Amino acid sequence: MKDLPQEVEKTISKYNMIKMKDVIVVGVSGGADSMCLLHILIRLKEKYNLSVFATHLNHQFRGEEADKDAAYVEDICKQWGIPVYVKKFDVPAYAKEIGVSDEEAGRIIRYSHYEEILNKENADKIAVAHNLNDHIETIFINMIRGSGIEGLKGIEAVRKNIIRPLIKTERIDIEKYCMNNGIDYRIDKTNLEPIYGRNKIRIELIPYIEDNLNSNIMATLNRLSDIISAENDYIDIQAQKAFTETAKCFKNSVKYSIIRLNNLHPALKRRVIRTGLKKLLGSLKGIEYKHVEEIVFLTKAKTGATVMLPGNITAYISYENLIIKHNIEKVTGLFCYKLQRNKDNIIAPLNITVNVAELKIDEIVSLSKKLDEIYIDEAKIVGDLVIRNRIPGDIFSPIGLKGSKKLKDFFIDEKIPKEERGNILILADDVDIIWVIDKRIGEKYKITNNTKDVIKIKVLRRATNGE
């Protein structure tokens, strides 16, 4: 029988997932994978001197069953001595409001919740329980969609601060580990029905291939993924170099030299175009091979030729240049949205979610320096918190400035173009501007030695077709 903790430790070492004294937030659904992951990380706590926190999101997809999942996770974490955060969020309603699938909405809220706990606990990593089966299923899904080599990499073992210690572990070994260690786990019955594409691959396609074509298909595709990942990394390096030599980036557009672009090898040319699209959109979600080919074809056309792409992207020819532009839709007119505390406030027209959390000063380890997150003194707030745009006569007292100035003058000092100022988001109370979002907070709202109660505010933006 496999020594699973040892196998997982090899994966951790191979991908340099964990360092000594890391603080890790573990996403725990209550299923076999996440229970196994949490149990193994607890076993590794002493060796790495880890601090481990669990977190669970009740998506409200499955009614009473989802509530039981949450209760189970809370109970088992209490038994195992692991601090746990449980959050309930109406994901189906959120999906409907922002116009995405339930799965996509769940992913957005789930990772937003993980990041929230990561910041709250000043943690280093988020550990999630994707396993080898998930990895292989993703390769099949991407293959069926006609993905390029990027998609054939499958699920990355490490992406930014997200780690996947079980990514080389088969589900059958995870279930055996749970059984041998007396670990109960919750079962989502919808995963057992071949009603979704991924389920059909898991329940029907892979078993058929194993029985009739290649009994080691999991190992085969895992090896293929490793080879492709290494080669993809090399191509990415070359593409970044070629992009720098071929393109210039602006706020909402990328301008390519057509001559230089057409001198590239077709494979590199596609990758350089994809690099520009990713810079504009934040990700390549929704961008398919056919869209890139439309742009490639455009590079042979004359001035004025244009194609429209997903994500409000327009590509067109302007003399010797290819321009790819992100047409950002602006909210027109005055707007004002009241915020509720200790809640994710979804403001669909602005494509944002604003998390407002009440904290005690002793819960703050360090003040964030992120542009999209602030901490303010609750005692200084008068009335309601609102998100709005500017109104005529606005006065602002930015931190570090004695006295106040017209908001218009602040925008001029910050070199914000006149046509963009009406869409700058402002956090305010009933009296003053608290925060010109992404710019500066107001002087009187800052944390001081006399602060006792704190409001933390984080703005989460959902880029069109973004991750």
Q: For the residues 213-229, what does the mean pLDDT come to?
A: 95
Of the candidates 162, 174, 161, which has an alpha carbon nearest to the alpha carbon of residue 131?
174
For position 232, what pLDDT does the model report? Answer: 92
Rounded Cα–Cα distance for residues 62 and 418 (Å): 48
**30-34, 107-111, 391-395, 442-446: range with lowest mean pLDDT:** 391-395
For the domain made up of 250-326, give the CATH fold: 3.30.465
Q: Average pLDDT for residues 155-184, to the nearest whole number? A: 96
Query: Is residue 139 packed enough to be buried (19+ CB in 10 Å), middle (13-18) or exposed (0-12)?
Result: buried
**Predicted TM-score (pTM) of this structure:** 0.69
The residue type found at 282 is G
Q: Could you state, in order of their start, the residue ranges of all structural domains in the chain?
A: 4-220, 250-326, 336-461
Please check whether the two domains, 4-220 and 336-461, share a CATH topology.
Answer: no
Which pLDDT score, from 0 to 100, does residue 235 have?
93
Mean pLDDT of 357-381: 85
Q: For the segment 83-129, what is each residue's pLDDT rounded down to a tens digit?
A: 999 998 888 888 777 777 788 888 888 988 898 899 889 999 999 99
> Cα separation of 34 and 11, whole Å?
16
CATH superfamily of domain region 336-461: Phenylalanyl-trna Synthetase, Chain B, domain 3 (3.50.40.10)
Helix (H, G, I), strand (E, B) or coil at 128: coil
- Residue 172, pLDDT score: 94
Q: What's the CA gap between 262 and 269, in Å, rounded?
A: 7
Q: How many CA atoms lie within 13 A of 136 on its CB side?
A: 25
What's the mean per-residue pLDDT of the chain? 89
What mean pLDDT do residues 180-208 have? Answer: 85
CB 368 within 8 A of CB 374: yes
pLDDT of residue 347: 83
Residue 250 in this model has a pLDDT that exceeds 80: yes
- Residue 190 pLDDT grade (very low, low, confident, very high; cuts 50, 70, 90): low
Hey, what amino acid is at 273?
A: I
Higher pLDDT, 448 or 327: 448
Give the C-alpha separation, 288 to 317, whole Å.
21
Q: What sign for the dihedral angle of Cα 380, 383, 389, 391?
A: negative
- Tell me, what's the pLDDT at 75? 97
Task: Pick 4-220's CATH classification: 3.50.50.60, 3.40.1390.10, 3.20.20.70, 3.40.50.620.
Answer: 3.40.50.620
Alpha helices for 21-63 (secondary structure H): 32-43, 45-48
CB contact at 8 A, 44 and 9: yes
What tens digit of pLDDT does each residue of 170-180 get? Answer: 999 999 999 99
Predicted local confidence at residue 467, as pLDDT: 35
Instruction: Pick the range with the lowest mean pLDDT from 51-55, 240-244, 305-309.
Output: 305-309
Question: pLDDT band for position 309 (50/70/90)?
Answer: confident
Q: How confident is the model over 424-443, as a mean pLDDT?
A: 90
pLDDT attached to residue 465 = 34
**197 or 232, higher pLDDT:** 232
